[in-house]
Amino acid sequence: MNKSELDEIANFLKGVSFFSGVNRVSLLELCKNIKTKFFEKNERIINKGDIGDAMYVILNGKVNVHDKQHSYSTFSTADCFGEYALIDDEPRSASVTAMEDTSVLIIESKYFVELVSTDMGFTKGILSVLIKRHRELDVIQERLAASKQEIESGSAKMSGLINGAMDAIIMFDEKFQIILTNPSANKLLENDDVLQRKVLFFFDDASANLIESLVKSGLDDNTKMFNNYLPEIVKVIGSNETETLNEGTISRYGNDRETFYTLILRNIEERLIAQEKINQLTTHTKYLEEEIEQLTNNHGILAEDISMFNVLKLIEQVANTDATVLINGETGTGKELVARAIHTASNRAKKPLVRINCGAIPANLIESELFGHEKGAFTGATVARKGRFLMADKGTIFLDEIGELPLDLQPKLLRVIQEGEFDPLGSSSTVKVDVRIIAATHRDLLKFSKEGKFREDLFYRLNVFPINVPALKDRGNDVCLIAESMVKSFSEKLNKRVTALTKEHKKLFLEYEWPGNVRELQNLVERALIVSKNGEIDWADIIPSTDKEDLPQSQEKSNRVLTAEELVQMERENILKALRQTNWKISGDKGAAALLKLRPTTLTSKIKALGIVRPI
C-alpha cells in the first residue's frame, strides 16, 4: 500500500460522519494510527497482549492468532470480506502473527473499525467502515454507572422518605406476606419483626376481609397498577393487642412475574377524638347560638342577669305549648313584656294577643268586657258586643292583674279554661273559643286564695306554668343595661345628645332599690332627658340615693322646677317610704303622718288618691 492509498483511507475516514459517538478528532487520531501501524508484506507482526484494543484488517495474506479460548486460529482475507479479513474486537490476550506476503492494517484504537464497503482502488471488493460502538458502550457504561449511582442515591432518598414517613407503609406480596415495612408500620403493628408474616393477621376480621377483597378484585383487573383509598376505616390490632383506627390507601405494583401491594395507613385515632370534640363543640355552639337568638328574639326584654335568663328560658319552653301561664312579679317588672314574648314565640303569633287589665275595669263591666253581651243584656247595652275572649279566638288573652278579678266571675273564667266555652251576657247560647290564657299578678295568689279572696281551683288552673319575674333590684347589672338602652332610645326620641353613663352613674343606679322596677327606671330616665341641658345629666340629683331613701324627702328640698307628674311621683315615693319606715302605721307619734308632718286624715286621703296599697 503506497502513501497515496493510505492518504485515501485517511481522507475517507475524515469524510465518514456516521460513526455514532465518534467525533472528528478521534477519527483523525484513527487515521494517524492507520498510518503508523501499516505493515507491508513479509513483515511479521508480533503482538502480545490484549488485542481487544486494536483492530486488525488483513488486507491480503493470513495471520495466526493464538488466544486463550480459541487456542490457535488462522484468519485470512478469504474468511471475511473477500480479500480482506478482520479480526474482531473480542478482547482476548493473544498473539497475532502475520504470515508471509501478508499486509495488515492495524487500527490501534479502542474504537473498532469494521470495514464494510469501500471502493478505493486498492481493493476490488466493497469495503465500508464502521466504527464499532465502543464509544457508545463507554457512554452506556458511564451512564450505567451514573444511573447506578443515581439508583443508589435514589434508593437512599427513598428509604429516607419511607423511613421518615409518619404513615405506616407496609408492602406485601400476592400471598399477603409482608416484604417491607417502615418504622411507623412497625410501631403501628407493635412489632419489629414482621417480615414474611401475613399482613391480614394484623387487622380485625372486617378490615382483613376488606383488604383481601380489594386485593382479589384488583387481581381480576388486567392493569398491573392500582391505587385506591380504602373505602372504610380499618382497625389494626398490634402485637400487644392495641387497637387503632386507620385510614389509608392500597396500591399495587408489578410486572408479568410478580405483584406487590403497598398499604399506607394513617392512625386517625387522635384525629377522630379531635373531630368528635369539634363536632361536640360545633353542636354546642350552634345550640348556644340558637339559644341566644331565641332568648334575645324580638321581645325587647333586655336581660343579662341569670335571673332574667331563667325567665327567658321559661318563655322559650312554654311558648309553643298551649299551657296556661301565670306570671308573678312586682309592678313594673315587665310581666306584660313576658306575656307578649310568649305570644310572639308561640304558633299563635299571627293571631291577636288581647290584653285586659282586670284591676282597671269596674266590676260591673268586666263580665261583658271579657265575655261580651247581647243587645239589651243590661241597661245601656244598646248593641251586642263581642267580648275579649271571642276577639282572642285562635290567639292569646292576657289577663293582667288577675288577682283583681271579682270572685263571682271566677267560675266563668274557670269554665273557659276547662271547656273552652262561655255564655255571653244575656245570651242563651254557648260560644266556643280556642284561646291560650296568660295571666299576671303582683299578688301572692295562693295566699290570696287561702284567704278566700281568690278561687283556689282557679288558681291551680292558672298556675299550670308559673313564671316569676324578679324585681329590678335583684337583677344585678341589668339595671345599668336597661338604663343605658333607655338613655339611648330617649335621646333619639327627644333628639338630644347626652353623655354616656359613667362608672359613678352606674353605681348610683345599682344602689337604688327601684320599688317601681323597670317602669320607674323608664320614667326616671325619660324625665332626666327631658330636663337635661347641654347633654349633661346630674344623675346623682335624679336618682334617689340610698341615704335619701332612709329618710323621706321633704318636698321643698329640691330647688329644681319639677313637673306635675314628677311631683306626684315624688310624693308617692315619699309617702311609701314613710309608710314602710313606720310599718304602715299612719297616725300617732311614730306614725307616717307625723313623720311627713301631715294630718293623719290628709295622709289617708293622699294614700287613696295615689292608689297606694299595702303589699300583702
Ligand X SMILES: Nc1ncnc2c1ncn2[C@@H]1O[C@H](COP(=O)(O)OP(=O)(O)OP(=O)(O)O)[C@@H](O)[C@H]1O
In this structure, the dihedral spanned by the alpha carbons of residues 276, 282, 287 and 290, taken in order and rounded to 10 degrees, is -160
- Interface residue with ligand X among 248, 329, 515, 591 (CB under 6 A) is 329
Positive/negative CA dihedral, 314, 320, 323, 325: positive
CB of 455 to ligand X, least distance (A): 22
487 binds ligand X (CB under 6 A): no
Cβ contact 324:465 at 8 Å: yes
Using the contact rule CB under 6 A, the part of the chain among 215-223, 279-287, 300-308, 569-577 near ligand X is 300-308
CB of 335 to ligand X, least distance (A): 3
CB of 534 to ligand X, least distance (A): 28
| CB closer to ligand X out of 26 and 468 | 468
| CB closer to ligand X out of 54 and 303 | 303
Residue 68 DSSP symbol: T
d(CA 501, CA 543): 13
CB of 616 to ligand X, least distance (A): 15
For 359: left if phi > 0, alpha if psi spans -120 to 50, otherwise beta; the answer is alpha
Grid-cell match 450505567, residue found: 144
| CB closer to ligand X out of 82 and 300 | 300
Binding mask 118-137 for ligand X (x = CB under 6 A): --------------------
| CB closer to ligand X out of 177 and 331 | 331
Cβ contact 175:197 at 8 Å: no
Using the contact rule CB under 6 A, the part of the chain among 60-68, 185-193, 238-246, 331-339 near ligand X is 331-339
d(CA 40, CA 31): 17
CB of 297 to ligand X, least distance (A): 13
CB of 338 to ligand X, least distance (A): 7
| CB closer to ligand X out of 112 and 514 | 514
Grid-cell match 464497503, residue found: 117
Using the contact rule CB under 6 A, the part of the chain among 5-13, 77-85, 295-303, 414-422 near ligand X is 295-303
| CB closer to ligand X out of 57 and 445 | 445
d(CA 568, CA 562): 10
What is the footprint of ligand X within residues 71-90 (CB under 6 A)? none
Positive/negative CA dihedral, 331, 334, 338, 339: positive
Using the contact rule CB under 6 A, the part of the chain among 6-14, 28-36, 238-246, 296-304 near ligand X is 296-304
CB of 587 to ligand X, least distance (A): 30
For 584: left if phi > 0, alpha if psi spans -120 to 50, otherwise beta; the answer is left
| CB closer to ligand X out of 299 and 373 | 299
Using the contact rule CB under 6 A, the part of the chain among 175-183, 230-238, 326-334, 506-514 near ligand X is 326-334
What is the footprint of ligand X within residues 428-457 (CB under 6 A)? 442
302 binds ligand X (CB under 6 A): yes
Binding mask 332-361 for ligand X (x = CB under 6 A): xxxxxx------------------------
What is the footprint of ligand X within residues 504-523 (CB under 6 A)? 518-519, 522
Using the contact rule CB under 6 A, the part of the chain among 32-40, 129-137, 327-335, 423-431 near ligand X is 327-335
CB of 369 to ligand X, least distance (A): 17
Question: What are the residues whose beta carbons fall under 8 Å from the beta carbon of 377, sequence distance 6 or more?
Answer: 368, 424, 425, 426, 427
Long-range pairs for 521-529 at CB < 8 Å and ≥24 separation? 521/472, 521/479, 521/482, 521/483, 521/486, 522/486, 523/569, 525/483, 525/486, 525/487, 525/490, 526/486, 526/490, 527/563, 527/565, 527/566, 529/487, 529/490, 529/491, 529/494, 529/496, 529/498
Residue nearest to ligand X (CB): 334
Cβ contact 517:331 at 8 Å: yes
Cβ contact 62:74 at 8 Å: yes
CB of 308 to ligand X, least distance (A): 6
| CB closer to ligand X out of 55 and 472 | 472
Report the DSSP pairing between strands 385-386 and 372-373.
antiparallel
d(CA 595, CA 551): 9
d(CA 566, CA 356): 27
- Interface residue with ligand X among 65, 303, 356, 405 (CB under 6 A) is 303
Q: Residue 602: helix, strand or coil by DSSP?
A: helix
CB of 329 to ligand X, least distance (A): 5
- Interface residue with ligand X among 64, 324, 331, 581 (CB under 6 A) is 331
What is the footprint of ligand X within residues 393-412 (CB under 6 A)? 400
- Interface residue with ligand X among 482, 487, 528, 575 (CB under 6 A) is 482
Cβ contact 358:405 at 8 Å: yes
Cβ contact 327:469 at 8 Å: yes
Cβ contact 247:231 at 8 Å: no
In the complex, the residues that contact ligand X under the rule CB under 6 A are: 300-303, 329, 331-337, 400, 442, 482, 518-519, 522
